[in-house]
Amino acid sequence: MKIQERTGAGNSRSAAPVQPAVGERLPAPPRERKPALAALAVLLILVGALGATVLVLRAGDRVEVVKVTAEIPAGETVSGDNVTSVMVADDASINYIKWDQLDQLRKLKATNTIPKGAVAVGEMFSSKGGLPAGKSAVGVSLKEGQYPASGLKSGDTVDVYQVGDGASGSGDKGSSSGSAGSSASDSPLVSGARVSTVADKSDATVSTGALGVTLQVDTADAAAVTRAASAGAVSLVQVSPNGN
pLDDT tens digit sequence for 185-207: 578 999 999 888 887 655 544 45
Could you give the CA distance from residue 128 to residue 219 in angstroms, rounded to a whole number? 19
What is the pLDDT at residue 202? 55
Q: Where in the chain is CATH 3.90.1210.10?
A: 62-126
Helix (H) or strand (E) holding 219: helix 219-230
Query: What's the CATH number of domain 62-126, 3.90.1210.10, 3.40.50.10090, 3.40.50.150, 3.40.50.300?
Result: 3.90.1210.10
Convert the pLDDT of each residue in 98-148 to its tens digit: 999 998 998 888 888 888 999 999 988 888 766 777 888 899 999 888 999
Q: pLDDT for 200-237, tens place per residue?
A: 655 544 455 688 898 989 999 999 999 999 999 999 99
> Who's near 76: CB < 8 A, 6+ residues apart?
109, 110, 129, 154, 155, 194, 196, 197, 216
> Which pTM does this prediction carry?
0.48
**90, 66 contact by CB (below 8 A):** no
Quick check: helix, strand or coil at residue 190?
A: strand
Q: Amino acid identity of 83?
A: V
* 147-151 contact pairs (CB < 8 A, 24+): 147/211, 147/213, 147/235, 147/236, 148/236, 148/237, 148/238, 150/238, 151/198
Task: Please give the pLDDT value at position 117.
Answer: 92
**Where do the H-state alpha helices sit in 24-113?**
35-60, 102-105
When the pLDDT of each residue in the chain is averaged and rounded to a whole number, the result is 77
